[in-house]
Chain A
Amino acid sequence: MSKLIVSPNPHIHSKDSTQSLMRDVVIALIPAVICSVLFYGWKELLVLGVSVASCVLLEYAITRYMLKRASTVGDLSAVVTGILLALNLPYTTPWWVVFIGAVVAIGVAKLTFGGIGQNIWNPALVGRVFLLVSFPTYMTTWAKPQGLFGIDAISGATPLGAVQEGLLQGSSIQEIMAEGGYDYGQMLLANLGGSAGEVCALALLAGFIYLCVRRVIKPWITLSIFATVALVSLIFWGVNPARFTDPAFNLLTGGLILGACFMATDYVTSPMSVWGGVIFGVGIGFLTMMIRYFGSYPEGVSFAILIMNSFVPLINMAFKQKKYGRK
């Protein structure tokens, strides 16, 4: 008879692993990736390829040769960061800018803090914000997709950029909207210029629903961001529609859906408890709207998430689950 294993309970384990959870996130991002490639063509494929390859290679090289420990490439978290970074950039970003973004995301934001599970800020967002500050030209010349394989892309401002520009020139919101010709129905399916990942709101929402159904994430963070953005913009727009944009516009633009579904829900950089998540989401929604309405940057999702990331340890301490039989 073979030897019997003796170890403490439990003797069975759930099928979840870090790798399987990350694989689910990758699967959830596939609709958005397909849409972005359909709309922007091979240039977007290049951005995605460079981003994912750089993130994975950097993770491997840094863990193995600089930190001298087992590589964590297998957990697929670097692949997720790579895809998210690419979807947060315009498809026109040069490959070397993408690479710098990957160095900041993986090398600085993730591995400097000790690798997966240790970082305070979402790596892909740190990469994106670094590029936004360092290479504003590449990052703000968003391009309108023209046709399925957008060869003849026209440079233009994002809807939020156009709003800020218009307000500075003294136009009212109604005039800016009329000039831009924004059609919310179209924005849901195929958005105008912006980050590659924002092309199709429905594709992002499909991925979000998949993650919720698979119980990879809980919906509360995302829903509280949406609700807060809708509520705050409803109040401001209701008071002064000539100065402030309406709720639907704010929900559909500026990478809000991408950020709320995939960046704010990152395990490592979000609170653990349900109520902590709600507070976190309300904070992101509120900060986003304040930056959009009153800040110098036209869009605020990235900054709002990074700012709220910083508060996660405090939120985790303040919002604990109720313990059984204790007050």
Chain B
Amino acid sequence: MARTFSIGGVHPHDSKISRECRIEPLPIPPTVYLGVAQHIGAPAKPLVAVGDKVKVGQPIAEPGGFVSAFVHSSVSGTVKSIGPRKDLAGKDQLTIEIAVEGDDWLEGIDTSDTLVTEIPADSKAILDKIRLGGVVGLGGATFPTHVKLSPPPGSKCECLIINGCECEPYLTSDFRTLLEKGEQVVVGAAILQQVLGHVRCVFGIEVNKPEAIAHIREVIAKLGYKDMEVLPLRKRYPQGGEKQLIDAVMHRQVGSGALPISVGAVVQNVATALAVYDAVQKNKPVIDNSVTVTGECFPKQANLLVRVGTPLSFIIDHLGGMPADAAKVISGGPMMGRAIANLDAATLKGTSALLFLTEKQTRRAPESACIRCGKCADACPMGLEPFLLNRLAKAGGRLEDLEANAVQDCIECGCCLYSCPARIPLLDNIRLAKGEVLGAIRARAAAAKAAAEAAKK
């Protein structure tokens, strides 16, 4: 039996109905909308002004802080406006609007398909290229990659894990990337391996993707990389969660509030490894990414190579328009994705899927009484007791109890609510309580810092 993480998890249906769809380039839309907050951390600061001509791959916004990233133009054309626009979440974000004219790439970007396997010797230069390429974690968290690759002093990486789990139902873009761009992903992994000090590298891939497991093994053998292997993992959600994947691969658990590096792990997604390859070997910044467009009710299943900033409505129209019975559009998978109301919003670097669900598929039955079956606690991959956290959250004012029961460790994977037979909105309530507890923890840390500084004076 293949390995997996040790606590909780659920096993929703697979529904990988788009698994046979090759990644096809989507035509370039007439206009793209590039938000300056494509990543976790400080928003980027625009480098262009209205009326400027830009080329594909040209930086148009620079990092606004240490944890921040470059944003590049994904098209060639003219900057039409810079101002607030509603993003996927429906929030106003500073957005650079570019009217497309042709497809003129910035000089120095290698757009050929030739595989470049020679890795630059200077790790610092590599890191710089990753930073200048605007590479962020494309598995969903969009944490700036160069920051993750610069471990804090005193910590040492022992294992690089390439996350090819794709444990959410429906999603297949990582699977297709492994099959179609396996060489590039593996070279990207080798680059990361070198930056981290020639550590061991493990590809974690779930057993429902046997073709990908076989292909990546073949590629590693062909390229002759040592210290790089594929570890087939049992099919289980949320295996692609960083903490769960580290547990599955290394049998180590990251402490509450600690970073993966504290147990010697760095996890990078398959799409991120490809972006690293592109940035380092081809000088190509993150200007496009593969997006799975799927759902039983959607007329056409597809994996598309989409320019960052493409409006969702353009993708939908390209594939035949909005199905009449689609009740929910989700950016990402059905377990952790975000429901979208605004189809004029544009894709981000981290957009991995557009999923269409009918009312019947996504219906949540009315809440009934807790029968203490314990299914939520069995399902929680963090070993929490969602029924208890829910009760404390609803009681109000129980922040200390909530913190003692580790509400702040919740990763919001949705396993508890997924498995609750009484359909109690466990995660909804827990998420609110977690926000309050995290606020209290931050306030306490700030107060402690202030007190320490006052004592110094």
Contact = CB atoms under 8 A, between A and B. Distances in A.
Interface of B: 7, 10, 12, 169, 243, 247, 253-256, 258, 322, 324, 326-330, 334-341, 343, 355, 357, 359, 361-365, 368-375, 377, 380-385, 406, 409, 412, 414-415, 417-423, 427-428, 431
Nearest to B385: A320
Q: Which of B372, B406, B431 has the most CB of A within 10 A?
A: B372
Given A4-B329, A267-B374, A322 B7 contact: yes
A296 interface: no
A1 to B, nearest CB: 6
A222 to B, nearest CB: 16
Given A5-B327, A21-B373, A75-B368, A10 B254 contact: no
A115 interface: yes
A4 B327 contact: yes
Nearest to A75: B368
B324 A272 contact: no
Contacts of A14: 10, 12, 418-419, 421
A6 interface: yes
B339 A116 contact: no
A115 B372 CA distance: 12
A110 to B, nearest CB: 11
A267 B372 contact: yes
Interface in A2-38: 2, 4-14, 16-18, 20-21
Contacts of A1: 322
B369 A5 contact: no
Kindly list the 8 A-B residue pairs having the minimum CB-CB distance in the complex, ordered from nearest. Answer: A10-B414, A272-B374, A323-B383, A325-B253, A16-B421, A267-B373, A12-B334, A117-B369
A310 interface: no
Interface residues of A, number: 36
Interface of A: 1-2, 4-14, 16-18, 20-21, 72, 75, 77, 115-118, 267-268, 272-273, 320-326
21 contacts: A6-B340, A7-B328, A7-B364, A8-B339, A9-B335, A9-B414, A10-B334, A10-B336, A11-B337, A11-B357, A12-B357, A12-B361, A12-B362, A13-B363, A117-B369, A117-B370, A117-B422, A267-B372, A324-B7, A325-B254, A325-B258
B359 A5 contact: yes
A13 B415 CA distance: 9
B384 A8 contact: no
Contact of A5 (B10, B243, B328, B337): B328
A268 B373 CA distance: 7
A76 to B, nearest CB: 11
Contact of A325 (B243, B322, B359): B243
B383 A13 contact: no
A279 to B, nearest CB: 15
